[in-house]
Each structure stands twice: as structure tokens, then as C-alpha cells.
Amino acid sequence: MMLTHCHELFKPVSIMILVNLALAFVNLLMKKVLNEGTDYMSIITYRQAISFIFMAPIAFIYERQEPNSFLNYLNFANDKKSQFFAVYRKHKVEVRIIFLLFLSALLGVTVPQNLFLLGLEYTSATFSCAFLNMVPVFTFIMAVPFGIEKVNVQSKGGKAKVMGTFVCIGGALLLVLYKGMPLIKPQSQYIADKVTSVPSTAKLETWIIGSIILTGLVGSGLCYVAMSWCVKQSGPVFTAAFTPLIQIFVAILDFSVLKEEIYLGSVAGSALVIAGMYILLWGKSKEQGQDVQKDTQTNQDVERQ
């Protein structure tokens, strides 16, 4: 029983570690491409276009295999009249789904990536990735007014969610307002080589194009598919718990590859942001566990009656 559970858990854990390592590498590539003078809006346009070309055939094939898909409605409709009614029956649902997908793509991909790359252009990859850990906190703050999230300050889970939110916001403020002394300095020889070395234009253009293609295939393609599978298998809280790995991997690569300095403010602020995120996620999982216990108890009481 224990071995079976460990085996089932090993696959999503391994996938999430690889996904976060890949995303860290993608963010590092984006920083390198931006340093070479490439416009951030061009990067996003090409990256999403490459991702669409790669993912569209896969999505089309997968959609055809679904028994209740819209494509199968058209396949089983033999004549034009049947096709018309098949389209009519699915029209309202399809329009709603397409609209939600459009909003999701606009607010969840295009706008955040524009803002992220704009910030990445002026800061280090480690500093920028620290704010990715605040996504669960902002989601929680936005969900409370709409009634999607409920806060019971009398329970441990509710207190943890409120505390985690304040700790995370405090860490973000520390990141922005306090820089501190450099903890690790880059090698002086690397800085001298960086200033004097000038790569050829042809090699530079080839490298930039290859980097953008790789980020489109991996960052906006395979990683999203893998994360969606992990959410389906283990839930969103499990997937969000691995988000800090991106910053850890980026910090290692940022110093070893780009030779960026690591400052005290970045380390302290990042630690607070990560701690706040985990406190919030713990509170959320605690409340979900209590809700499941209440539902189970209610069902048992109904069966006894």
C-alpha cells in the first residue's frame, strides 16, 4: 500500500521538478535574449506563435478522441441538416468556452508575460522570478471579494491564509525597497571577458532565434501540458507548492551562467515570499481537509437515518 502510494506520487513530483527546471532555463534564456537588445513584445509574439504551431495539432488530435467533443458531433452528422443542428446544439457552449479561453489567454498569458519581460529587462532573473511566488496570494486576495474563497479567522486554516498573505506581501516590499550588500560577487575575469568579447552578428541572430523557438516549444508548450496533467492528478495546491523551485534554479543558473550578483535584500525578501506562500497553501489545504471531513460525516449521518 505504501509502495503503491509512493510510486503514484513519484511521477507528478518528478514531472514538476523537471518542469520548474525547464521554466528556470527558459527565463534565463529570455534574460540573455533581452540583454542582446531584442524587443520583449517581439519575443512574446514569436514565442506564442511557435507554441500555437506546435500545440494546435496535438490539441486537435486529442479533441477528436474525446467522446463528447464538438468535432465528433460533426463527424457523426451525416447530412447538412444534422450538421446544422449539431452546430446549433453546441454553439452556446462553444462560444462561452472560446470566450473564456480568450480571456484566459489575454489575462493569464499575454499581459503577464509582457509585464514580466518588461520587468526582466531592467532587473535580474532571480529578482523577477521571486514575484512568481505571489501568484497564489494574489489569487486568494482576488477570490475573497467574489466569494470563491472564504476566510474563517477562527480556524487554523483561515488564520494561516491571512498570515501567509501578509508575510508574502511583506517579502515583496522588502524585495522592492531594500537591496542590501552583495552576498556573492561575480568573477572579475568574467566581467572583463563580457565587456571585450563581441560575437558575430550571424551567430548572435541564430542563437536568438534558437532561444525563442526553444522557449516557445518548452516554456509555452510542453511545460503547460505537464502542469495541466499534474493539476489533474494531484490538484492545484500540489502544483503550486513547487513554484519556489523556479527561483531556486534561476538563482543557481543566474550566478553560474550570467554571473549576476546576489544581494541580501533579494535573499531575505525571497525567503519571506516563499514562506508566506507555503503558509497560505498550508492553510488552504487544511480547510479543504476539514471540508472533506464534514462532507463525509454528513453523508454518514444521512445513511444512518
pLDDT tens string 18-44: 998 998 888 888 888 888 888 888 888
Q: Cβ distance 127 to 175 under 8 Å?
A: yes
Residue 295 lies in a domain: no
39-75 pLDDT, tens per residue? Answer: 888 888 888 888 888 888 887 777 666 655 555 555 5
Q: Is residue 293 a part of any domain in this protein? A: no
pLDDT, greater one: 193 or 169 = 169
Is pLDDT larger for residue 165 or for residue 6? 165
Give the DSSP H/E element, type plus range, for residue 183. Answer: strand 182-184
Q: Under a CB-based contact definition with an 8 Å cutoff, are residues 239 and 231 in contact? A: yes
pTM of the model: 0.73
Determine, yes or no, domain membership for 1.
no
| DSSP one-letter string for 132-166 | GGGHHHHHHHHHTTTTSS---TTSHHHHHHHHHHH
Number of domain units in the chain: 1
Q: Domain for residue 305, yes or no?
A: no
Domain residue limits at 91: 14-287
> Closest Cα partner for 19 from 159, 182, 166, 224?
224
How do residues 191-249 score in pLDDT, each as one tens digit? 444 444 445 576 777 888 888 888 888 888 888 888 888 888 877 777 877 888 888 88
* 133 within some domain: yes
Alpha carbon distance 104, 97 (integer Å): 10
Q: Is residue 9, in this structure, part of any structural domain at all?
A: no
pLDDT at residue 172 tops 50: yes
Q: d(Cα 138, Cα 130) in Å, to the nearest integer?
A: 14
- Weakest mean pLDDT among 173-187, 266-280, 283-297: 283-297
Q: Does residue 300 lie within any of the structural domains?
A: no
Are the CB atoms for 49 and 212 separated by under 8 Å? no
